[in-house]
């Protein structure tokens, strides 16, 4: 649905965070660096931190392809930070979460689903433990909905899947947007008419 150039532009995570902040969506404190001293200073400033891929989270390893998941940086790792100097990494402050939300967007239609993690692994990255997840169709707060539409307008996107953390005080924090994100399993789990919305948009009736 999206133009290839729009997808390429929207894949940049630093740009995603900049645009999200510009349209009024809260974002986590973030550091992009390959300097271990910068990472230690960042952790000292914000507390618990996570590390996630800066680009495509699939790597070729051991003759196959492996997904790279978000993970917490243990305090003991801050002493060495082995491998950090090899390339830029994306570090963020850990955001306390009640649950996460995947918002699938098709044109001007949105399909927000709360994702409740049932294991410690899934609380860090729900993709690591699908069997522990519970789904709930919810509504986006008006301010979040307005920010999502402005975000899509800024990138020229017609389709995408955004991820948010909802904190214990009900604040929504933007994590990222995948302009080619998967939607099938959520449509099936929650009986969402995403396929119909995509068909309508492709026929020019959205």
Q: What is the pTM of this model?
A: 0.91
Q: What is the pLDDT of residue 79?
A: 87
49 & 88 share domain: yes
Domain boundary among 52, 75, 94: 94
**Closest CA relative to residue 124, chosen from 66, 49, 43, 190:** 49
In DSSP terms, which residues pair with 30 in a beta bridge? Answer: 92
Q: Which residues contact 40 (CB under 8 A, 6 or more apart)?
A: 78, 81
- How high is the pLDDT of residue 35? 94
CA torsion, ordered 90, 48, 77, 68, to nearest 10 deg: -40
Residues 145, 177 within the same domain: yes
- Is residue 91 within 8 A of residue 84, CB to CB? The reply is no
**Under-70 pLDDT residues of the chain:** 56-66, 205-206
Q: Tell the burial category of 12 from Cβ atoms under 10 Å away from its Cβ (0-12, 13-18, 19+).
A: middle
User: Where in the sequence is the domain holding 18, given as residue range(s)?
Assistant: 1-27+95-206
d(CA 21, CA 190): 30
State the CB neighbour count (10 A cutoff) for residue 97.
Answer: 17
Whether residue 116 sits in one domain with residue 145: yes
CATH of the domain at 88: 3.30.1490.20
- Say if residue 89 is in the same domain as residue 110: no
Q: Are residues 124 and 203 in the same domain?
A: yes
**Co-location of 40 and 109 in the same domain:** no
Domain co-membership, 140 together with 192: yes
Same domain, 45 and 120: no
Same domain membership, residue 134 and residue 67: no
The residue length of the chain stands at 206
DSSP string, 42-77: HHHHH-SEEEE-SS-SEEEETTEEEE---EE--GGG
Together in a domain, 40 and 133: no
Domains: count for the chain: 2
175 membership: H or E segment, kind and range: strand 172-178
CATH number at residue 175: 3.30.470.20
| Closest C-alpha to 17, from 175, 179, 156 | 175
Q: Looking at residue 53, what is its pLDDT?
A: 83
Are both 43 and 65 inside the same structural domain? yes
> What pLDDT is attached to residue 127?
92
Last residue of a domain, one of 94, 123, 145: 94
62 torsion bin: left (phi>0), alpha (psi -120 to 50), beta (else): left
In this predicted structure, what is the pLDDT of residue 44? 96
Q: 9-29, pLDDT tens digit by residue?
A: 999 999 999 999 999 999 999
Q: Which of 60, 94, 128 is the last residue of a domain?
A: 94
Q: Are residues 115 and 195 located together in one domain of the fold?
A: yes
pLDDT on residue 38: 95
Residues 162 and 148 sit within 8 Å (Cβ to Cβ): yes
Which of 124, 33, 30, 39 lies closest to 79, judged by CA?
A: 39
């Amino acid at each position: 649905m999206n133009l290839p150039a729009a997808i390429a532009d929207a894949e940049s995570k630093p740009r995603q965070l900049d645009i999200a902040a510009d349209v009024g969506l809260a974002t986590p404190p973030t550091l992009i660096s390959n300097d271990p001293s910068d990472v230690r200073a960042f952790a000292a400033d914000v507390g618990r931190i996570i590390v996630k891929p800066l680009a495509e989270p699939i790597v070729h390893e051991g003759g196959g392809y492996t997904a790279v998941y978000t993970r917490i940086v243990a305090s003991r790792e801050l002493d060495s930070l082995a491998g950090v100097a090899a390339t830029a990494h994306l570090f963020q402050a850990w955001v306390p979460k009640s649950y996460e939300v995947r918002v699938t967007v098709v044109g001007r239609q949105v399909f927000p689903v709360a994702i409740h993690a049932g294991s410690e692994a899934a609380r860090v990255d729900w993709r690591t433990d699908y069997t522990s997840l519970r789904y709930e169709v919810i509504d986006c707060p008006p301010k979040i909905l307005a920010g999502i539409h402005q975000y899509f307008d800024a990138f020229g996107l017609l389709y995408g899947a955004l991820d948010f953390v909802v904190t214990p005080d009900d604040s929504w924090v933007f994590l990222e947007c995948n302009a080619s994100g998967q939607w099938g399993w959520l449509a099936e789990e929650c009986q969402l008419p995403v396929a119909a919305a995509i068909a309508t948009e492709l026929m020019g009736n959205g």
